[in-house]
Amino acid sequence: MDIWMTWCTRVSKCKHCSNDIVSGTPMVMGKLWRKHSTGVTPPSVMRFPLVFRWHPQCWVDQGILSLKDYAEVHRDRHRPRLLLTDEQRLVRKRLIGRWRTYRFRMRVAMESNDMDYLRKLVENMRQVALEIEQVGGMPKKWAEML
């Protein structure tokens, strides 16, 4: 949905509280494009906009309301976000990147049966696993590899 703020130029109804939005006051507008197929041959698709209007505060209120639903749904489905600083998050991301690189090289090394190189890679992966303990801990999947 496109959202923008503008001056209300004629009295309109607020989508949230159903009260009038007075002409000359700020309002939030939203436009949502919908597709509608016309049964004509060849079939064509008509696009038409749905337009919404809100009081500025009403738009914030309904946004926060729908955000609460969203948080409710996702709290149980996803594991909680790790409590890390941005800096720690970056370190963690880099460690995960290193792990993936080693895992990829491992697959290549397995094909060529290079045991020395494989041992070295496992060593490196153990090192990465140690370092990631400082920034949120090791992902569960990694344990199978070590």
Distance (Å, rounded) from C-alpha 40 to C-alpha 105?
A: 56
Question: E strand or H helix at 112, and its extent?
Answer: none
Smallest gap from Cβ 6 to Zn ion, in A, equals 15
Task: Report the nearest approach of Zn ion to the CB of residue 138 (Å).
Answer: 50
Residues 51-80 that bind Zn ion (CB under 5 A): 55, 58
Contact 22, 4 (CB under 8 A): no
- Of 16 and 92, the one with the shorter C-beta distance to Zn ion is 16
Least distance CB 21 / Zn ion (angstroms): 7
Cα–Cα distance for residue pair 51/130, rounded to 1 Å: 54
Residues 1-30 that bind Zn ion (CB under 5 A): 14, 16-17
The DSSP H or E segment spanning 49 is strand 44-54
Binding positions for Zn ion, rule: CB under 5 A: 14, 16-17, 55, 58
